[in-house]
Amino acid sequence: GIQVEQSPPDLILQEGANSTLRCNFSDSVNNLQWFHQNPWGQLINLFYIPSGTKQNGRLSATTVATERYSLLYISSSQTTDSGVYFCAGVSGGYNKLIFGAGTRLAVHP
Amino acid sequence: EAGVAQSPRYKIIEKRQSVAFWCNPISGHATLYWYQQILGQGPKLLIQFQNNGVVDDSQLPKDRFSAERLKGVDSTLKIQPAKLEDSAVYLCASSFQENTEAFFGQGTRLTVV
């Protein structure tokens, strides 16, 4: 199966700052998702983005499948953005949704 | 649309005891996943079902863990006997088909003492 690497592992921001989270894959993917895990452990779907760019409010994501990476942009961060962000992907032929280790984000007022 | 339902939310057991978790996926979703998430780590896939057949269980410790999805809808995950290192959150997810968007339940937090 694929290997999923996320960076940075930890990120501390002041409220209002922008950030970029990265997800690298060891193989090409045909399914890629970004999740936010809130302090209660719930995984919230942010984007389903096998390729291209999507935007939802202050968040946007871009996946470049041919280069095996995806980026999550958070603009004008708020304290409620704190938590862990995971990317997960499925590579062709394996059909297993594999997660990275996550990026732990703390946004301070 | 109802989401993925899991129960119980929390469970505390002693080592060597048995425990079972239940998952009801989103209606019409053929693919069902069980993940184990140890504190500070990303979720690890334990088993994946397509309808009532197993797609992958390569990471399932089969000497103590078992899972079934009778009739291709609800699923149960069992641990017998439990070890201290099984303390984790057990997450269930479902998707319409393989390679489509997956949705997660709230998880079951297991503590083995």
User: In the predicted model, is pLDDT for residue A93 greater than 90?
Assistant: no
Task: List phi, psi (to 5°) of A32.
Answer: -140, 135
Tell me how far apart the alpha carbons of residues A60 and B94 are, in angstroms, rounded to a whole number. Answer: 24
Two tokens at A56?
Answer: 């939802």
| Average pLDDT estimate for A74-98 | 90
Cross-strand pairs, B15: none
Per-position DSSP letters for chain B, written without gaps between them: ----EEE-SEEEE-TT--EEEEEE--TT--EEEEEEE-TTS--EEEEEEETTEEEE-TTS-TTTEEEE-GGGS-EEEEESS--GGG-EEEEEEEESSTTS-EEE---EEEEE-
- Write down the pLDDT at residue B1: 64
For B100, name the nearest residue in chain A, comparing CA atoms only.
A31
Which residue range forms the structural domain that includes residue B91? Answer: 5-112
| pLDDT > 90? residue B99 | no
Q: What percent of chain A has pLDDT over 90?
A: 79
Q: What is the pLDDT of residues B50-80, one digit of tens each?
A: 998 999 999 999 999 999 998 889 999 999 9
Q: In chain A, which residues have their Cβ closer than 8 Å to the Cβ of B99?
A: 30-31, 90, 95
A101/B41 touch (CB, cutoff 8 Å), yes or no: yes
pLDDT class of A95 with cuts at 50, 70, 90: confident
CB crowding B33-47: b at 16 or more within 10 Å, else e: bbbbbeeeebbebbb
CATH number at A86 reads: 2.60.40.10
What's the structural domain count of chain B?
1
Give residue A41's pLDDT.
87
Q: Using CA atoms, how far apart are residues A81 and B67, in angstroms rounded to an integer?
A: 35
Q: What is the mean pLDDT of residues A88-95?
A: 81
Yes or no, beta carbons of B42 and A101 under 8 Å apart: yes
Residue to test with chain B: of A34, A94, A95, A97, most B Cβ within 10 A: A97
Average pLDDT over residues B43-47: 96
Q: How many domains does chain A have?
A: 1
Q: Is the pLDDT of residue A63 over 70?
A: yes
B41–A48 C-beta distance less than 8 A? no
Report the pLDDT value the prediction gives residue A38, as an integer from 0 to 100.
Answer: 86
Nearest-angstrom CA–CA distance, B24 and B47: 15
B38: domain CATH number is 2.60.40.10
Answer whether residue A75 shows pLDDT above 80: yes
- CB atoms under 10 Å from CB of B62, counted, come to 10
What is the residue range of A15's domain? Answer: 4-108
Give me chain A's average pLDDT, please. Answer: 93
> What is the reported pLDDT for A104?
97
